[in-house]
Amino acid sequence: MEPLSNKRKVLEHKPLNFWERLYLPAIAQGLSITMKHFFRKPVTISYPEQRREYSENFRGMHSLKRDEEGRERCTACGLCALSCPAEAITMIAAERQKGEENLYREEKYAAVYEINMLRCIFCGLCEEACPKEAIYLDGDHVPADYLRKDFIYGKDKLVEAPLNQ
Partner 1 sequence: MGLADIIIKFILVVIIFAISLLIALYSTYAERKVAAFFQDRIGPNRAGPFGILQPFADGAKMFLKEEIIPTNANAFLFIAGPSLSILTACIGSAVIPWGQTLTIGTHVIDLQVTDINVGVLYILGVVSLGVYGVMIGGWASNNKYSLLGAIRAASQNISYELSMGLSIIALLMVTGTLSLRQIAEQQHGFWANGYFTWNFFKQPLGFLLFIVCAFAETNRTPFDLPECETELVGGYHTEYSSMKLGFYLFSEYINMFISSAVMATLYFGGYNFPFMDLIGPGNLVVILGIVALFAKIFFFIFFFMWVRWTIPRFRYDQLMDLGWKGLIPLAIANIIITGVVITFLN
Q: Taking Cα atoms as reference points, which of 156, 154, 162, 115 lies closest to residue 137? A: 115
Please say which residue, 13 or 41, places its beta carbon nearer to partner 1. 41
Rounded to whole angstroms, how far apart are CA atoms 119 and 47?
25
Select 2 or 49, whichever has its Cβ closest to partner 1. 49
Which residue, 21 or 98, is less far from partner 1 as judged by CB?
21
Cβ atoms of 50 and 86 within 8 Å: the answer is no
**Spatial strand order in the sheet of 89-95:** 89-95, 108-116, 152-153
User: DSSP letter at 63?
Assistant: E
15 binds partner 1 (CB under 8 A): no
- Compare residues 27 and 92 and give the one whose CB is closer to partner 1: 27
Q: List binders of partner 1 among 28-87 (CB under 8 A).
A: 30-31, 33-35, 37-38, 40-44, 46
13 binds partner 1 (CB under 8 A): no
Number of residues that bind partner 1 (CB under 8 A): 15
- Asked whether position 27 contacts partner 1 by CB under 8 A, the answer is yes
Cβ-proximal residues to 106 (8 Å cutoff; 6+ apart), any chain: 73, 75, 96, 132
The residues binding partner 1 (CB under 8 A) are 23, 27, 30-31, 33-35, 37-38, 40-44, 46
